[in-house]
Amino acid sequence: MKEQELKKLVEDMTLAEKIGQLVQVTPDFFDQSGEITGPAAEWQLPQDKLFQIGSVLGTHTAEQVYTIQKMYLENSRLNIPLLFMADVIHGYETIFPIPLALASSFSSELTEEVARLSALEATRAGVHVTFSPMADHVMDARWGRVLESNGEDPTLSAELTRGYVRGYQGTDLEKETERLAACVKHFVGYGAVQSGRDYNHVDLSAIELYQNYLPAFQAAIDEGVKLVMTSFNPINGQLMSVNQSLIKETLRQEMGFEGVVISDWNALEELLAHRVAADKYQAASEAFQAGTDIDMMSDCYINHLSEFSELDRQELDGAVLRVLTLKNELGLFENPFRGIPKTPDSIEQMLRNATKDAALKSFVLLKNEDDILPLQKTQQIALLGPKAASKDILGAWSWIGKTEHAVSLAEGLSSGLPHLTVWDNDGRTVDIAEAYQKMKDLAHKNDVILLALGEASEETGEAASKAEIQLSEAQIELVKEISAVNENVVVVLFNGRPLDLTAIEPYTKGILEVWFPGSEGGTAIAETLMGEHNPEGKLPMSFPRAVGQLPLSYQAYSTGRPLTEKNQNEKYVSKYMDIGNDPLYPFGYGLSYSDFSIDGFEQSAKILTENQPLTIQVVIRNTSKRAGVATVQLYVEDVVTKVVRPIKELKQWEKVTIEAETTEKCTFTLSVDDLAYVHKELACYPDYGQFRFHIGLDSQQTIDGQFDYVSDEE
């Protein structure tokens, strides 16, 4: 449909039909019995209004979508098709590793491929839009939704976000019917909720907002993302769904977003609980005036927007046109059953293979003392712990994925280790003392003890905030008890957030972070433990020494009394009295079965100008007898700044495959854009002067150099 035809369609719509396009409901509103029950009854939503609704969220199957769409079109005056949206976060039925795990790959190519394959499966179920990617900047592991994030670094997050959008949307949504429209969320600041508690208050400075929280959203917009979801939290005291300055001025005008803005679930009605709206009428009018196009799962718009006497008809037509434009870009007017195959071929095995490959790239080897890993087939191995045979490895957002179809760690290891003993108690009625004695007996009899530990899926994700992020007391005690019998303990860690591992780290020789690894998790973990795959993941979030360090980021700001190597014993410096300032495991950290070192670097010049970028060539050596992947990271430090700045910031990275006992070179090119930062007037530009760069295999252990940024005229 051409743009002019869309505008004519808007002209032909009644006020009620226009408002309906701005409302989103769940499938249960379309009860096939024809009886108005459940939330539809609570909203007093008669059938004539129901068949004016614009979109549906949370369908499960192609049959469900087909039935609802067919019924809707048969009862809709103008035959405007429904949009179907869903939470396709890291897969649909076939589940990939959680986004935080995918971020460990430091690869936008991987996030793009995962998004493409997720879209391929979801579109076959009739889904048109995914509520992904999540671009929230995060520094607090207490917040359960770090599971959905790209981690603590805004540059890495922006790059991975680009990959997601490209993968979901492709280049032409109308022609590529196996692609989804992407909705980037949550705009903006949700990752900064106070105390790490979901749905809580947010208070951010403007500089912090522009420097760290907006870049990933800008990356999504630059890639052409079709929707933006507002966050639950306030910024500057204004809830985001009614924050006109951030939606209309920042998002629309400054950032150039032209697509659809949608609220989060019931966010408009929740304005009443926040005490910033007296009733649903006020909530509807203020949200609409602020620029929120679609009201997700509240009756504020459907029942109260028409009462708003000052409703700007031009504003209303603009919002409706944005929704219709999205439907048109998806080709729904010509093909309302888009993506649903008449005779679907099986893609399950291809998807499961892809989930395994993604998992292999996401595991982070945190500790490998005495080269206890990889395991040897000749060894006697005991696999113990609550996650040993558990299929709860998919994560909190695997709402359609079938847990029973996941490959557990025990299943993954069963064929590769002939001398493997698995004991997880598996519901057997054994008291605690008897269980410990059984496991100690196994620890005595075996060469290496694998302890599969971690969180349950429901302990992470939305509404899963924690005040303490250690393993459970029972799991900590298990590590101590087993290590007292056999010091060769390797922990395989399943979790959706960075954990405080200080209680168990001294009692282990190896720790492999596998996150929630997805449908083929057990297979991928087994291949890694057995050495068939060499770990290559890097931490996208720092692991703290204690929860008291949170929020935590490697991007520590300069202070007037910094802690240095020379003043460790002084009192009046910025430090903790009981622990160090540094994390247990820093951002960018991750070991390999290979041994890498950075032998040095060469830089093209000592100055950088607008017309003369700086090239830095780095030599990386593999001193081991095994090929592996090194992720070389380049950080930049501005020596003198106009506002207080982080000491170092990640700017570029490169993944390099290095054969055994050889060297490779990687080249970084720094430009003026890499030096820019947000100043007090909120403009982003660099300052002339001295800079340092830091190159390493993580954010802490680096080799350093320097250069000056000068005018081309000097």
Residue closest to 469 by CA, chosen among 441, 435, 504: 504
DSSP-derived 3-state class of residue 690: strand
With both helix axes pointing from N to C terminus, report the angle between 313-329 and 280-290 in degrees, rounded to the nearest 10. 70
Strand arrangement, sheet containing 689-696: 607-608, 702-709, 689-696, 628-638, 649-658
Q: Backbone dihedral region of 562: left (phi > 0), alpha (psi from -120 to 50 degrees) or beta?
A: beta
N-term to C-term CA, the chain: 56
Residue closest to 411 by CA, chosen among 443, 387, 435: 387
Residue 440: its H or E element: helix 432-445
What is the rounded distance in angstroms from the CA atom of residue 18 to the CA atom of residue 156? 40
What is the rounded distance in angstroms from the CA atom of residue 478 to the CA atom of residue 99? 29
Q: Can the peptide bond before residue 374 be classed as cis, meaning omega within 30 degrees of 0?
A: yes
DSSP H helical segments within 94-153, as ranges? 99-103, 108-123
Q: CB neighbours of 505 closer than 8 A, spacing ≥ 6?
A: 367, 511, 584
Q: Can the peptide bond before residue 133 be classed as cis, meaning omega within 30 degrees of 0?
A: yes
Residue 596: its H or E element: strand 596-603
Residue closest to 653 by CA, chosen among 697, 613, 621: 697
16 in Cβ contact with 301 (< 8 Å): no
Token reading at 593: 């079965």
Checking 640-644 for CB contacts under 8 A at 24+ apart, the result is 640/687, 640/689, 640/690, 641/677, 641/687, 642/679, 642/680, 642/687, 643/207, 643/677, 643/678, 643/679, 643/680, 644/557, 644/558
Residue 448: its H or E element: strand 448-454
What is the rounded distance in angstroms from the CA atom of residue 600 to the CA atom of residue 663? 11
What is the rounded distance in angstroms from the CA atom of residue 191 to the CA atom of residue 199? 10
Rounded to 5°, angle at Cα 61 from 56 and 65 = 40
DSSP-derived 3-state class of residue 260: strand
Q: Which residue has the tokens 């029972």?
A: 474
363 in Cβ contact with 513 (< 8 Å): yes
Task: State the Rg of the chain over Cα.
Answer: 27
Q: CB neighbours of 313 closer than 8 A, spacing ≥ 6?
A: none
Annotated catalytic residue: which of 140, 153, 198, 264? 264
137 in Cβ contact with 208 (< 8 Å): no
Residue closest to 269 by CA, chosen among 241, 237, 246: 241
What is the rounded distance in angstroms from the CA atom of residue 359 to the CA atom of residue 136? 22
DSSP H helical segments within 106-171, as ranges? 108-123, 154-169
What is the rounded distance in angstroms from the CA atom of residue 207 to the CA atom of residue 680? 7
Does residue 595 carry a catalytic annotation?
no
The CA distances from residue 80 to 3, 51, 59, 320, 335, in Å, are 15, 10, 19, 12, 11
DSSP-derived 3-state class of residue 351: helix
Residue 617, beta-bridge partner list: 602, 667
DSSP H helical segments within 275-312, as ranges? 280-290, 300-304
With both helix axes pointing from N to C terminus, report the angle between 108-123 and 348-362 in degrees, rounded to the nearest 10. 150
The residues annotated as belonging to the active site are 264
